[in-house]
Every structure is written in C-alpha cells, then in structure tokens.
Amino acid sequence: MPAYQLTVNGRGRTIDADADTPLLWVLRDTLGLTGTKFGCGQGICGACTVHLDGRAVRSCQTSLKEAAEHAVLTVEGLSKDGSHPVQKAWIAEDVAQCGYCQPGMIMSAAALLKRKAHPTDHDIDEAFADHICRCGSYPRIRKAVKRAAGGVK
Amino acid sequence: MTSRRDFLKVTGAAGAGLVLGLRLEAKPRLGETVKAAFQPNAFLAIRPDGTAQITVPKVEMGQGVRTALPLVVAEELDLDWSKVEVVTAHPGPEFKAMNTGGSTSVSTTWDTLRKAGAAAREMLKAAAAAQWKVPVGQCRTENGFVLGPDRKKLGYGALAEAAARLPVPKDAPLKKAADYRLVGKRTPRIDGPAIVTGKAVFGLDVRRPGQRFAAVLRCPVPGGQPKTWDDAKAKTVRGVTAVVKVPTGLAVAADSTWAAFKGRDALAATATWDEGAAKEFSSAALEAKARAALTGPADDARREGDPAKALAAATKMLEAEYSFPYQAHVTVEPMNATTHVGADTAEMWVGSQSGNRAQERAATAMGLKAEQLKVNVPLIGGGFGRRLGTDFSTEAAQVAKAVGGGPVQVVWDREDDIRHDLHHPATLHHLRAGIDGAGALAAWTHRIAGPAVLRSWLGGQKAPSQATTEANGAYDIPYAIPAIAVDFAEVEAPTPLGWWRGIQIVPNVFARECFLDEVAHALGKDPLTFRLDLLGDRGIVKFGRDAADIRRLKRVLEVAAEKAGWGRKLPVGHGLGLACHAYDGRTYAAEVAEVSVVKGRLKVHKVTCAVDCGLAVNPAGLEAQVEGGIAFGLSALFSQITWEKGRTVQTGYHDFPVLRLGDMPLVETHVIPSAEAPSGMGEPPVPVAIPAVLNAVFAATGKRIRKVPIEDGLI
Ligand code: FES
Ligand code: FES
C-alpha cells in the first residue's frame, strides 16, 4: 500500500490510506480537520468544499489518489485568525444560522472571488448552485459575497 | 435558606468571583407541586478578571439562542458584551427543560434571565457602594463597571468577590425598555467567528482520544430486521474492527467513517431482511385511505354554530380538496451521536433538541441511570424538529455498548437520514364554504385526513388533544364566520412520524389560506379586503387552549400589504398573493409574495413579511429566522417523500430537492414594534410562505394550485 503525499494548508502530509478514500474523510478523520463538513457524500450539498490548487472542489468526490501531490486548502487554512476578506464579510453580514454549511459556502465564495473580483448576481447564483443551506441563509450569503468583492487576492 | 419561590442563589467557591445559580425550568404542570430544595440549573458568573460566563439552558441549532438568551442577561446586568462567554447547559435530572422546539426558547426563559441579571447588577452596585461608603442610590452601572459619585469607577471583576458575600435581592428592579442598549439592537451571532474559521464543533466534529466510527446497516423499510448476513467481507475492509447486531440493524465499527461506510456496504450486499409490518406501505394506498376518510367519521377540533344547517341554507357553496405530501427534514448535518461507555458511567455528545429525553433513553439502553450518563450538546447543524427525536441517540448508545471499548461515533449518511427520518406525514384536506343570500361567508368546514404525528410521538397512544394538534392552524382559523367545523380523520400509517419546522400548521394553513383566497375571488372581492373584513373589529379571541389578538393579526396583514404595494400595477405574468396566521396565538405573521410564471416556470421574486412577536430581543436574529423560514416553506413547494413497498422512494438531495441560492427571493422583513413579552420566531414565517406564493400564482395565471409539491409543467 503506497502512502500518499499532499499539502494541506501549506503543510506536507503523508497519508497511509486506501487510494479511493475521499479527501473529505482524510481531512476529517485522519488529520482531524473537522471544519470541512459531511452533508451528503454525493457531491450535491457542497458542505465539503475545499480548494485543490485554488479551485473549489467537493472533497467527498475527490479521492485521496486524485488529491495526492496537490495543494489542499481547507477553511482552517484560509486565514490564521478569521481575517480573510470572505470570513470578515461573513461576520459583518451575520450570515451563519446553524453554521454547518458555512465552511463550504465560504470556500466557494473565496474561490469565486479569486476567479472574478466583482461577480454579478448571475455569477453568484452559479457559484452556489451546488450548495445547500437548509437554514436558508442565502440572502446574507449573497450580500457577504458582494461585500467581500474586490478584496480577495 | 431557600424556599421554592426562590430562583436565585450565590453558588461557587471563594475566588470564583460572583456566581449566581438560577433556576430555569418549564412551568410546573397544573397540579404539580415543586417540593425539592432549590437546585440551580443555570449559572451566571462574573469572574475576577471581569469576564462573564452565562449558561444557556437551550440548544443552539441556528435559531440564535446562544446569542439571544445571554443578551437578555447582559442587558439587565449592563455587561460588556465583548467579555461574555457562553456555555451550553448539560441536560440532567437537575435540568429538565433542555427541550428546544415550538419556538419557545426566548418566551419561556425571558423573565428568569432578566431577573437574574437585575439581581446581579444590584449586588455589584451594593458591593461598590459599601466599598466607597456611599448610598447605593448614588451608584449606577454601565458596560461592565459600577460608577459612583466623584467619578468613582470599579470594574465588575474587582467587585465580584465582595458581591458574592451579599444577600441576593428579591425583586431587583428591571430596566425600562427605553433604556435598553443591547436588547432590540442588531447583535451578530456569538458563534460567528468560530463558524467561519471552521473551529465550531458540531456533533459530527466531536473527536475523543481513541474514538471509532460506526455506520448502521438498517432495513430500508423502517422497523424491518436483518434475517441473514455474512460479515466476512465487511471484516476484510481495512479499518473495520467490529460487526455487531444492534436493535436497529447491524453496526459496523471502524477506525474511520469511510471504513465504516465501506464495511456497511460490503455487509449490505450479503443481508436478507424480514421487512416487518410496514413492508406493503405505499403513498398511493395511503392517499386512497385518506380520501375515503374525508367523508367518514372524524374527531372534532372546533365546532361553532351549525355548519350543516348553514351549508344547507347557503345560496352558493364552494368546495375543494387540497393535498400536502410527506416531508423530510434533511438537516445538512446528518444524524449522529458519540458515546463513551465506561464501567458504571458513560458520556455522550449529541446534537439533541430533547437533551433530557435523549439522556434518559440512552442511559436506559445502556443499563444506566440518567445521572450516570453525562450528556454534552455541541452545536447542531440544523434541527427543524428532527432532533426532538431520540431514535438516533438511543441507537448510538446501543452501538457503543455493543461494540465496547472506547468512544464510538455513529454516523448516518444522507440516505440513512432520509429513509429513517421521523417524517412529517401527508394530509388531504376537504374544505367547504357556504355563502349566504347576502353574499357573506356563513359556513366553513375543513376536514383533515392523514396520519397523526402526536400518536406516533406518544408511542401509539391517542391523546385527548390529538384532533387539535393535528388540526393546528385549521381549527384556529381567525376569521369571524358564524358556523365553523374543523375536524381530523385519522388514517393509520406504519412508519414513525415527527415534528417539522412549522408542524401541522404548514399544511393546514396552506389549505386554509388558499381556499379562503378562492372564496374571495369567487365573491369578486379583493383578498386583502376580504380578510380584513372577516377579521373584523375584534380583540382577543379564544381558540381552545390558545387565544389570539385579532388586532395584532390585522396589523401585520396591513403592514405587509402596504409595504409590498398591494394593489399596484404589476408587469405582465406577475402576481401578488398574501396569507396570514396567528401562530399558537403568540406570533403574528403575514406575507405577501410577488411571483411570475414564465413558460410554466415559477419564480418567486420577493416576499414581504410583517411579524409581531412581541419585543424583538435581537432583530438581526429575528430577520434571519424570517429569511430561513421562508426558504424552508418555499423548499416544501417542490419536495416530497413518497413510499413504495414500505420504503421511501427518495434517497438523497438529488430527489428531495432543497431550495438553492439562485431561487431565493428577496425577503423584506418588517418587525412591528411591540412592548409585549417576546414570543417566538423559529416557525411562524414558514406556514404563510406557501399560501402566499400559491395565491400569487393564481393572481399571475388564474391557475389554482391545490397540491404540493407543484409538479413539473402544472403551472
Ligand atoms: S458532502 Fe460533499 S457535496 Fe455534500
Ligand atoms: S446555516 Fe444551517 S445549513 Fe446553512
């Protein structure tokens, strides 16, 4: 069984697990990074969103093998202290209700704003089309993305 | 000395600062006497370093209690909000009111929390006055300090020890609402920073040393049992440590969640089932039974005047059938609980809305007494009533006991969560309206047929209040109609049922407010004027155990209509619709929806909501509840659970859709200023959203939708 190398939040990690293990469970169970959430394991809810080389991906649909040799960024690595512009905007707009879906939302927002500094409403709709918030925090997510616009390098 | 009327006392050792123990409890039931000596179950501590710690006796699931309840204390006590730390209480024999549901958290604790804050404030003032040797009347408090004459100023931390030695005042004066500086202002959620950095701990994030993970293979038909299975394959999955029979199925424990899932899947391939009593259950058969029950015997929920006579005498009668499906909760955090069984104690971490019941039942399942099981309630990734159930916590205890050896986290996957939800049942509604010779609405009947949630909840027993519970939202129809009959015809269903955000009020108000709209249109009346006229000039009206203030209901209706521009000219294809309800006679909500239907596709552009829930403790949190409640209601327009061969047809978010961001309308919330004691806001926005939208669809298209979910191409 080969061990896999990947970079998680800037730190090199060696993971000894089956190739098909979803990155989600490597993060949560092997590395104890529980900020990335499990919502469906079916690629539908977006709770498990992380960045793979800067792109938003569903960690429940990304195998360890696919993630190996790449850079993974999770919500814990977005900033040291909650100072990422998206995190700050999320606080300013008081987005979270139960909060469970929010790390995934934040990672998608950060990826979107990196791609497009000033997204349109349509861009925002698209970026969150595969995210579910059962609490209905959507109006504030939209506002927070707009507030953070232009601030993500 | 304490008497049973006391609710506050100084607890805590020297050096701890000022620690006030307070008693927060559900009101004693009628005829119940409280004999026990005073046992505090919530605490308010001012530490020597000036920080304050407040125990919250309710659980946080997104409704904002961990912010709203401490705000109430901080207000009376003039705390520096930035120095407030919040801890969630542990359910236990000493604390029996962790139950969090029914939109009651603020209303049931408000008084005690205010009084505790006020008492602590007076004690700190007295301590400062003694130190300065000035009359206490010359001292006041501000943002964590006591201020005295000659610019004297001492922080709460410095006074806490001295204050702890003083008697607890009875009836400390409460602040006037006009002096509030925290209550009524927009305060962001206290857990926000932890949530956005991923540090917040939900049940599924609990990690204990040596923890294992378990998945349970359950029969797809609720109540079914495994007949045969072969665990050999499952045991070869890397990481799997045990496969054991538990009362709900077969548990696979492993050193990671993924290994537990893989082991479970390997086991599933080998299992055969005794599918049990529910195996023939189907939605089609249930609907046929419900339709038959629409004309059979029923239990009265309300009967006024002589509806049969009034209908017979009517010059015009309208009737319609409405239908609402089974619904699931689909909280984004699936069910889970972590249990550590020791020799004669155990500990559990569970996001439960019923901490006390969860504790009792899980302890029993492990052969322990409730007090031998410590229950911790982490943050909850969505409740909506699902986590009032104790099925998942009891199962987790059974699994932990069966696999032995250290902490075990039982994780449900999305399919488990949907299939083994405590679903909210489908109902059929038959409504009739009799119009008299003068063109007035003279009779109203509403028959509801479906399974009874309350019976399922009570383990199969029929409660005396069954009909009113199942007809909630229908029997308390607020309009002045001379003859009213609302009844409930029970139809048996074999799978477990549960409460859902908005409970039975959602389907019942949907049918009621849409049918009323039909009547208005049939009479050529404007739906707003028609409702206002029917509400009439009345004050407080009693409906069974509830009483609603009709003036407050009228006011929200008027405000929502005015703010939404009711009656204004709309673009082609657009329509406005409205609905209102007095929720348990406590919270008043009206919503106006603006929709368009283009090429059969419904778009909800905007929902304008007016609410009166008494004093708004935290308007930011309240507005979030309105936005979320509307999203929940709109989502239900497109989702359903259906049954075939005893199992749900739906297995995930792919076939049980949840509203997405792109479909979320603009929401405008208008909070009616009120000095009444706060009521609740978690559920009231949900039920009115559906009829407001469907009435708007009618206004836009002339098409009356009487069946939820809206099927493709129906509009
Ligand atoms: S958990 Fe990955 S998309 Fe839902
Ligand atoms: S905040 Fe609860 S699911 Fe999004």
Q: What does the pLDDT look like over B424-439, one tens digit per residue? A: 999 999 999 999 999 9
Distance from CA of B474 to the nearest CA of A (A): 26
Peptide bond into B709 cis (omega under 30): yes
Residue B615 pLDDT: 87
CA atoms within 13 A on the CB side of A139: 18
Protein residue with least CA distance to atom 3, ligand 2: A133
Average pLDDT in chain B: 92
Tokens of B396: 């987790």
ipTM of the complex: 0.98
Residues 6+ apart with CB under 8 A from A7: A13, A70, A71, A72
B191–A99 C-beta distance less than 8 A: yes
Distance from CA of A109 to the nearest CA of B (A): 12
Cβ(A132) – ligand 1 distance below 6 Å: no
pLDDT confidence tier of residue B6, bands split at 50, 70 and 90 = low
Cβ(A137) – ligand 2 distance below 6 Å: yes
Most confident region among A53-62, A143-152, B676-685 by mean pLDDT: A53-62
Residue B100 pLDDT: 72
pLDDT at B564 > cutoff 70: yes
pLDDT at B2 > cutoff 50: no
For the ranges A106-110, B59-63, B703-707, which has the lowest average pLDDT?
B59-63
pLDDT at B36 > cutoff 60: no
Chain A hits for B668, Cβ within 8 Å: none
Cβ(A106) – ligand 2 distance below 6 Å: no
Cβ(A138) – ligand 2 distance below 6 Å: no
Q: How far is CA B478 from the centre of its chain?
A: 23
Average pLDDT in chain A: 96
B411–A131 C-beta distance less than 8 A: no
pLDDT confidence tier of residue B676, bands split at 50, 70 and 90 = confident
Residues 6+ apart with CB under 8 A from B637: B690, B693, B694, B708, B709, B710
Give the separation between CA B542 and CA B302, rounded to whole angstroms: 11
Proportion of chain B above pLDDT 70, given as a percent:
94
* Mean pLDDT to the nearest integer, B393-399: 98
Distance B406 CA to ligand 1 centre (A): 28
Distance from CA of B515 to the nearest CA of A (A): 28
- Residue among A82, A100, A128 minimizing CB distance to B660: A128
Residue B89 pLDDT: 86
Q: How far is CA B703 from the centre of its chain?
A: 33
Cβ(A40) – ligand 1 distance below 6 Å: yes
* Mean pLDDT to the nearest integer, B612-617: 90
Confirm or reject contact between B209 and chain A (CB < 8 A): no
A41–B659 C-beta distance less than 8 A: no
pLDDT at B616 > cutoff 50: yes
Tokens of B444: 């109203």
pTM to 2 decimal places: 0.94
Distance B637 CA to ligand 2 centre (A): 19
Helices (H), ranges, chain A? 23-25, 64-67, 85-92, 102-115, 121-127, 138-148
Distance from CA of B702 to the nearest CA of A (A): 29
- Residue among A18, A42, A94 minimizing CB distance to B414: A42
Residue of B nearest to A141 (CA): B661
Give the separation between CA B610 and CA B553, rounded to whole angstroms: 10
| E runs forming strands in B218-284 | 225-228, 240-246, 249-254, 272-274
* Mean pLDDT to the nearest integer, B539-563: 94
Of the ligands numbered here, which is closest to the C-alpha atom of A24? 1
- How do residues A118-140 score in pLDDT, each as one tens digit? 999 999 999 999 999 999 999 99
Give the separation between CA B694 and CA B709, rounded to whole angstroms: 11
Task: Looking at the CA of residue A61, tell me the nearest atom of ligand 1.
Answer: 2
Chain B hits for A18, Cβ within 8 Å: 238
Cβ(A71) – ligand 1 distance below 6 Å: no
- Written as one letter, the residue type at B37 is A
Class of residue B227 by CB neighbours under 10 A (exposed 0-12, middle 13-18, buried 19+): exposed
* Mean pLDDT to the nearest integer, B692-709: 97
- Residue among B381, B630, B662 minimizing CB distance to A100: B381
Distance from CA of A55 to the nearest CA of B (A): 19
Cβ(A107) – ligand 1 distance below 6 Å: no
Q: How far is CA A140 from the centre of its chain?
A: 18
Handedness of CA A121, A51, A33, A23 (dihedral sign): positive
Segment 647-666 of chain B within 8 Å of chain A by CB:
652-654, 658-662, 664, 666
pLDDT confidence tier of residue B314, bands split at 50, 70 and 90 = very high
